[in-house]
Amino acid sequence: MGLPYAAPPMSSARIIIVCAFGLVLLGAGCSPQIGDSCGSSTDCSINGDRICDFASPGGYCTVQGCDPDTCPGNSICVEWRFSPPRTSESFCMDRCGSNGGCRQGAGYACVHAGDAVLEGPEGPLARIIDLNPGARNKGFCASVAE
């Protein structure tokens, strides 16, 4: 009988590469989503493609200046203060179907177009501008005053 086969030892460079790859995979599953809380914009993305909206309670990871149907993941593009047009701003907002999908304990609720909470003295404050009917029929998580 011969000696049992033993695999050649891994070099330290290979061990480092395997460990680094594992950490990348582990980190990818925990990447921040639109609507997550944040304390700085780097909490939302280290690539600089998302910002932390500090005006929202606990911060709100978002993309400012979105166009229809361009928001990442399960988020939707919402235009705020659209009348007059020169005052409008658009942000990616976390899509939801009910309050359970939002950060309720932090003062967020799932709001839909036409909800009283989105009405200002001169009309609606926000509207979903995505063209996809599936997105337009959903709500989005927003901070609501109690």
Pick the closest to residue 125 from 144, 109, 138 (CA basis): 144
98: alpha, beta or left? (left if phi > 0; alpha if psi -120 to 50): beta
Structure confidence by residue, pLDDT tens digits, 29-41 = 468 899 999 999 9
* Number of alpha carbons in the 13 Å side-chain half-sphere of residue 17: 5
At 16 the pLDDT is 47
Structure confidence by residue, pLDDT tens digits, 48-81 = 899 999 999 999 999 999 999 999 988 999 998 8
Structure confidence by residue, pLDDT tens digits, 11-23 = 554 544 443 444 3
Assign 100 to helix, strand or coil: helix
Cβ 30 vs Cβ 98: under 8 Å:
no
CA max distance for the chain: 90
Give pTM, 2 decimals.
0.74
Mean pLDDT of the chain: 80
Residues 6+ apart with CB under 8 A from 124: 82, 113, 114, 118
**Separation of alpha carbons 59 and 108, rounded Å:** 11
